[in-house]
Structure 1
Amino acid sequence: MNFSGRTAIVTGGAKGIGRGCCELLAQHGANVVIADMNLAGAQEVEKALKEKGCSAKAVQVNVKSVGDVRAMVETAADTFGTVDILINNAGILHTTPIEDITEEEWDNIVAINLKSVFFATQAVLPYMKEKRYGKVLNLSSLAGRNGGIANGLGYSATKAGIIGLTRGFAARLAKYGINVNAIAPGSTDTGILDTLPQEKIDELVSKIPLGRFGKTKEIAGVAVFLCSDEASFMTGAIVDVNGGMYFG
């Protein structure tokens, strides 16, 4: 894969799968914008990439804010000239039982996990449509496929919504040369699992045919491939990376 001359934005890029995507894109020559609410974490990734001779820019963004999202895209374009790739990775997990989910919690998870995907994609369209080239990759989840196991229903609903957005964007943007795909990871060894009690972690592992959690580099590898020209004939695809838990 060769991303030389390409500029990529990765939301939630300071850690986990997002950081893995930033590192792999940079390794293959992309200009990488590490966008995260945690500016210090994003700057740490920027520093690490620059020390390896890569081109990177840390940007603080609250993906719930449309204004912040638009400013993120403008900063990327001002810094590197354009935007070629968007990876919508930012997201949060919750485990609240159905009976206990509040309106505030529901609105928060929808804003971070789903609303952000729509408006970030909307914000990059002028750059991609102008040159009739672009790659958008969305992070869904196994929970969006099967309703989830240990997570709260708001998480499952938003990740299912991402699948709908991916297919809708793909159908409408193909005429502009823009590929829109998604991956649906199963349980992956990232910081997001730290919110789960040990008994739920053990339960999750017991249900994975390959007998382990996924690794961030395994998920990032699929994500970055879908953003490459090697995947140019793929659009509207939802790629399952889950150790055998779902064979959609």
Structure 2
Amino acid sequence: MTDQRVVVITGSASGIGQATAASWLARGATVHGWDLSEHQPDPAPSGAPGRWVPHRVDVGDETAIVEAMAAVIASDGRVDVLVTSAAVGFPEPFAEISADSWNRVLRINVTGTMLCIREALPGMVERGSGCVVVISSIAGRTKSVANGAHYTVSKYGLIGLTRHLAAELAGTGVRINCVAPGPTNSPILTANATDDELQSIIDRTPLRRIAEPEDVASVVLFAADDRARHVHGAVLDVNGGLY
């Protein structure tokens, strides 16, 4: 039986977002992929029954988010699942973080996530069903292993947002959970860590490897699945035992 849900995934052109899109397409879902990339290749595995609909969306732009969500609803009538994976991070020491850099990270990682959720929730609440999965990070549990303080603060904020909304959505039938990946083989890590730093991370991780995006995607799908119907306001760690 194929999954007939309509899924919106931000940051869908690479890393965790792309792997999550591929996993849902393999199940038969309609996946609207949002990313700044001009050209998003179809991430569906060969023969996947799902439908891929790419959108160029800047999640740092409120108007772009509002228009994109309206386009999804006009096309498919609803959003069943929202996964907020879009994020930026920079390996700047605290003393070198400018106000512009700080604001950019918070605008995309936190405010962008908030706006995406805000636009998706009314339809979910009206139907009495739906799932939101927020992608935080091990940085929201301890500190970032490769990015600066602004990234760490943003990821703590996403955990707080998830827990607040879990309480505010009580009785609506809508669930929200947070997935907190550890170091993952994705551009936000590999672009900001040297080979020696990556090896150090591997050496400190009990499972002795960093995650692949598919490792995280499988937990994202679980969080939105009926198997997790009593999981709400949770933070699900996917970090190989690294704390």
Query: Normalising to structure 2: TM-score of the pair?
Result: 0.95
How is 1:17-166 mapped onto 2 (pairs within 5 angstroms)? 17-41=16-40, 44-45=41-42, 48=44, 52-166=48-162
How is 1:179-198 mapped onto 2 (pairs within 5 angstroms)? 179-195=175-191, 196-198=193-195
Partners of 2:166 and 2:5 in 1: CA distance: 20
- Give aligned-pair identity as a percent: 31
Q: After alignment, is 80-89 or 199-208 more displaced?
A: 199-208
> 2:225 corresponds to which letter in structure 1?
S
> 2:155 corresponds to which letter in structure 1?
K
In the alignment, structure 1 residue 238 sits paired with structure 2 residue 235: yes
In the alignment, structure 1 residue 4 sits paired with structure 2 residue 3: yes
Partners of 1:28 and 1:87 in 2: CA distance: 16
Structure 2 alignment gaps of length 5 or more? none
Q: After alignment, is 195-204 or 180-189 more displaced?
A: 195-204
The CA deviation at 1:50 is 8.9
> 1:214 corresponds to which letter in structure 2?
A
1:181-200 CA-partner distances (Å, limit 9, x unpaired) = 00110001112222222222
The CA deviation at 1:227 is 0.9
Structure 1 alignment gaps of length 5 or more? none
Contact 1:37 1:60 in 2 (8 A): yes
Question: 4+ residue stretches of structure 1 with deviation over 4 A?
Answer: 48-51
Partners of 1:200 and 1:107 in 2: CA distance: 27
Partners of 1:15 and 1:149 in 2: CA distance: 20
Partners of 1:147 and 1:198 in 2: CA distance: 20
The CA deviation at 1:12 is 0.4
In the alignment, structure 1 residue 169 sits paired with structure 2 residue 165: yes
User: Residue 198 of structure 2: SS of its match in structure 1?
Assistant: helix
How many residue pairs get aligned? The number is: 242
Partners of 1:38 and 1:148 in 2: CA distance: 25
Task: Considering fraction of residues, name the structure with more helix.
Answer: 1
1:63-113 CA-partner distances (Å, limit 9, x unpaired) = 001111111211111111111100000001211001100000000000111
Q: 1:232 to 1:73 in 2, by over 3 A?
A: same
Aligned to 2:209: 212
The CA deviation at 1:23 is 1.0
Query: Normalising to structure 1: TM-score of the pair?
Result: 0.93
1:165-206 CA-partner distances (Å, limit 9, x unpaired) = 000111111311110000110001112222222222222222
Contact 2:28 2:48 in 1 (8 A): no
